[in-house]
Amino acid sequence: MKNNRKLLSRRDFLKIAASVPAAYLANGLASGLKKQKDSQQPGVIILVFDALSAENMSLYGYPLQTMPNLERFAENATVYHQHYSAGTYTIPGTASLLSGLYPWSHRALALGAGGVSDEHAEHQLFALFKETHASIGYSQNKYSDNLLYQFDEYLDTHIPSGAFDYENRIFHDLPMFRNDGRVAFSSFDDNIIRTGEGFDASLFFGPMLRFMNLALQTRNNRKFRGQYPDGLPDAAEQFLLSDLVDGAIEKLGELQEPSLSYFHFHPPHHPYRPTAKYAGKLFSVFAPLEKPVHPLSSDKRTYVNMRRNRQAYDEYLLSWDEETGRLFDFLRSSGLMDNNYVIVTSDHGEMFERGEIGHFTRLMYSPLIHIPLLISRPGQSRREDVFSPTSSTDILPSLSQEIFNSVPSWVDGKALPSMGGEPDPDRSIYTIDAKKNSAFAPLSEFSMALTRQNTRLIYYQHPGYSQFEYYDLEEDPEEMSDIYSLQPAMALQMQEEMLQKLDEVNRHYRK
């Protein structure tokens, strides 16, 4: 009786054990064959420039020519003029780009390593392309790199965030934490040994490492003062713009076709560190419009301070553009543009107005949410311009439509015009910031913008401040006159639509 219960004999066990490597090999072979079978399909190269605002690019009407090389790239690409990010900072912005979902769906809301909800963990580009394309993921921004850690099982190659940096002092990138990068990040680099303001959770080693890091950074800044007079660019680790582009070129040169390649570069994210060629060159060249400080501004910066920062940002854009020019040249000369969709975009914008600098704000105006989107289809030889509104949630459905001829049912976005979709000038585009809201609870503390037909309704719902604002972007592109109090019919209609949407997305999270 006892023997009958035995599930495996020793002989059976040995047989199965011997067949495991063969099964592994067969599995790899099968997936390799499948990838080969689909090798006629075009590849995808996504280049994300963190915190790049369309409002600071001459391609989108800025008076200074900050990105001439990107303009050159645009000559063989489709330029989306009214493209908006779904989030206002890296985590929700990147998660929307990768998943085709709005932040209220993917729930990567807070600043940290939370990632998208389990429900949507497989709803992203890498999973979508897994069977047909080899995939490479790289994010220099440590926060968006956490999303790549979450999607790691769908990535054939996950390049460590510090791979192209000058220094390497990030703990969670260590190979020993490979399986647990997000939690290791929250533990080490966001807690035990931190950078910037606040206490380390390590009493003795924390400050010692802080001191050592600062000493090394000071030394590096001195060493490269001739090249970077304001200090080396810094993405928690210092880096050189040229190294970053060289690294990307090297990896792109090794691509096996067809591939899905995601490169998320830190520039032009703060701190703005232009090269010597451009540092200080834009002083007094352009005086932006002075806008009143917003009641929700936490920094309440002066106009002079904001202007100085904008100048540094523009100079940093010029410096970064000079390097990316080499990247675009490589894409052209290597033939990668002939058989790849090359997408250039951002995760969110950057603002220098209303008392705020950067993007860690509750405010929600064009400089922060209007981002560039340029798509060069394989072999595209001339420029196209799309003026109907589009969202960062549209990238996944567009690629899916173009490459697989279908759009997944779970996406919030839709296929872009000239990428299998039709222009829809009446479309509603949302941007959501709910960084203080729990990912597991209904949205109750947030800023939300609804852009439609060249108008924008903004809903600020924060403790002690609940307000709607409404702007006519055609008459007032600088968003100076809030006409919500006049109660235009369109504003009321959009308000109703927004509140209905809010109720709909919150229903799932109400107890």
Using the contact rule CB under 8 A, the part of the chain among 202-210, 282-290, 364-372, 498-506 near other proteins is 202-210
Alpha carbon distance 88, 141 (integer Å)? 15
Alpha carbon distance 183, 20 (integer Å)? 31
Q: Which C-beta is closer to other proteins: that of 150 or that of 376? A: 150
CB atoms within 10 A of CB 389: 22
User: Binding to other proteins by residue 225, rule CB under 8 A?
Assistant: no
* 252 neighbors 261 (Cβ within 8 angstroms): yes
The CA angle 408-409-412, to the nearest 5 degrees, is: 95
User: Binding to other proteins by residue 21, rule CB under 8 A?
Assistant: no
Q: Which C-beta is closer to other proteins: that of 63 or that of 207? A: 207
Q: Which C-beta is closer to other proteins: that of 52 or that of 209? A: 209
* 232 neighbors 220 (Cβ within 8 angstroms): yes
User: Binding to other proteins by residue 163, rule CB under 8 A?
Assistant: no
Kindly give the pairing relationship between strand 134-139 and strand 157-159: parallel
Residue among 132, 157, 428, 438 that touches other proteins (CB under 8 A) = 438
User: Binding to other proteins by residue 465, rule CB under 8 A?
Assistant: no
Alpha carbon distance 413, 101 (integer Å)? 7
> Which tokens in the block code for residue 436?
């203080």
Residue among 187, 297, 334, 444 that touches other proteins (CB under 8 A) = 187
> With helix as H, strand as E and coil as C, how does 437-467 read?
CCCCCCCCCEEEEEEECCEEEEEEEECCEEE
Using the contact rule CB under 8 A, the part of the chain among 69-77, 133-141, 431-439, 482-490 near other proteins is 431-439
User: Binding to other proteins by residue 115, rule CB under 8 A?
Assistant: yes
User: Binding to other proteins by residue 190, rule CB under 8 A?
Assistant: yes
Find the shortest distance in angstroms from Cβ 295 to other proteins.
24
Q: Which long-range contacts (CB under 8 A, 24 or more apart) does 279-287 make?
A: 279/228, 279/229, 279/230, 279/315, 280/229, 280/315, 281/315, 281/318, 282/64, 282/311, 282/314, 282/315, 282/318, 283/311, 285/64, 285/311, 286/63, 286/64, 286/314
Helix, strand, or coil here: 336?
Answer: helix
Q: Which C-beta is closer to other proteins: that of 196 or that of 226? A: 196
Q: Which C-beta is closer to other proteins: that of 178 or that of 501? A: 178
User: Binding to other proteins by residue 442, rule CB under 8 A?
Assistant: no
Using the contact rule CB under 8 A, the part of the chain among 4-12, 64-72, 173-181, 452-460 near other proteins is 173-181
User: Binding to other proteins by residue 200, rule CB under 8 A?
Assistant: yes
User: Binding to other proteins by residue 114, rule CB under 8 A?
Assistant: yes
Region of residue 179 (phi > 0: left; psi between -120 and 50: alpha; otherwise: beta): alpha
> Which tokens in the block code for residue 497?
């639509």
The site string for other proteins over 68-107 (x = CB under 8 A, - otherwise) reads ---------------------------------------x
Q: Which C-beta is closer to other proteins: that of 8 or that of 208? A: 208
Alpha carbon distance 208, 459 (integer Å)? 45
Q: Which C-beta is closer to other proteins: that of 59 or that of 193? A: 193
User: Binding to other proteins by residue 204, rule CB under 8 A?
Assistant: yes
Closest listed residue to residue 368, CA positions, set 53, 156, 101: 53
Residue among 152, 177, 427, 442 that touches other proteins (CB under 8 A) = 177
User: Binding to other proteins by residue 483, rule CB under 8 A?
Assistant: no
The CA angle 291-448-124, to the nearest 5 degrees, is: 125
Residue among 139, 437, 447, 451 that touches other proteins (CB under 8 A) = 437
User: Binding to other proteins by residue 183, rule CB under 8 A?
Assistant: yes
User: Binding to other proteins by residue 205, rule CB under 8 A?
Assistant: yes
User: Binding to other proteins by residue 196, rule CB under 8 A?
Assistant: yes
Amino acid at 214: L
Find the shortest distance in angstroms from Cβ 426 to other proteins.
35
* 427 neighbors 388 (Cβ within 8 angstroms): yes
Q: Which residues bind other proteins (CB under 8 A)?
A: 107-115, 176-180, 182-184, 186-188, 190-192, 196-207, 210-211, 214-215, 217-218, 436-439
